[in-house]
Amino acid sequence: MPARIVAIKVTAGVMVFVGILPSIGFCDEEKANLQFYEGCIVQEIIRCRAKASLLNSRSRNLREYARIKVQKATFLADQKESLIQELFEKQITLRDHRIQVYLNRQFYDEID
């Protein structure tokens, strides 16, 4: 099975598991939120790393796009714990797209 499909299935499994924990009473709300944020960041890292294959493209634009995604994956991996804390402290809505917007802002502010 291709690595990308395996990564998507693993991420989906983690997201489902993290979503189930609070409903069955194993976690308090704070821990569940932190786990959700971490799951979203890990999922974004996986997405960015999947684009690394474009580094070998003949297209200059795709190579540049892949280079930025590799940088973003490295940034997210290095800053994961601090980003989780920032997301929690700022009480970013528990929606994947909201978290992606926040992560994009942090990354592009960092490289500018």
Global confidence as pTM: 0.74
Specify the pLDDT at position 3.
63
Question: Does residue 83 contact residue 106 with C-beta atoms inside 8 Å?
Answer: yes
Q: What is the pLDDT of residues 58-84, one digit of tens each?
A: 999 999 999 999 999 999 999 999 999
Identity of the amino acid at 76: L
Residue 27 phi/psi, 5-degree rounding, is -130, 150
Question: Does residue 44 contact residue 103 with C-beta atoms inside 8 Å?
Answer: yes
Specify the pLDDT at position 93.
92
What is the domain partition of the chain in residue ranges?
3-111
